[in-house]
Structure formats: structure tokens, C-alpha cells
Amino acid sequence: MNEWLLIALMAAVTYLPRYLPLALAGKVRLPPILELGLDFVPIAVLTAIIGQSALIRDGALDMSLGNYHAIAALVAFLVALVTRHLFITIVAGLACFTLLKVFV
């Protein structure tokens, strides 16, 4: 009996956090300041992921010129600032990384 109770509770704990936001989506109105803050969540998470993957090499912070990941990320960031075009940004970052790997 305890196993079935455990399975049922685990299912509820897994299912409810996924279902509740969908069930309450049109019924609950968030304060404007909270909506404004939540607009920054995707870019903050993406920046954290890219920053870590570009700057951490072999478990340590690598700020050297030999870190091609960081250089390509910086180039992509600068291209994004200038062009505001996602495809061009991706191509520039990949091209920079590839050129550094092949020629340096």
C-alpha cells in the first residue's frame, strides 16, 4: 500500500506544477511590475548559459586569448548589437569560432 501512495504522491508533485500555470493562465492577472520583470527571465537565463559555456574551460575561468569560445561569443555579441539580426549573429559567431580553430 505504501508503494502505491508514494507513486500517487510523486505523480501529483510532478503533474501539478505543470498543470496549474496552464489552468490559471487566463484567470489570474499579474501586476504590471511583475510582468515587466518576467520579460527579462529568458534573456537572463540564456546569458547565464552562454556565459558559463564560453568562459569556463576545464573547470576553471579562462579569460585568455586562447579561449576561442569566449572570443566568438564576444564577436557574436558585438554583431548582435550592431545588426539586431539573429541569423547574422549566429553566422558571425560560428564563422569566428571556425576561423580561430582552423587558422590559429
In the predicted model, is pLDDT for residue 56 greater than 80?
yes
Percent of the chain with pLDDT over 90: 86
Confidence of residue 87 (pLDDT cuts 50, 70, 90): very high
In the predicted model, is pLDDT for residue 78 greater than 80?
yes
Of the candidates 89, 88, 52, the residue with the CA atom closest to the CA atom of residue 70: 52
* Residue 65, number of CB atoms within 10 A of its CB: 9
pLDDT in tens, 35-51: 999 999 999 999 999 99
Query: What is residue 2's predicted lDDT score, i.e. its pLDDT?
Result: 87
Contact 65, 71 (CB under 8 A): yes
Query: What is residue 29's predicted lDDT score, i.e. its pLDDT?
Result: 86
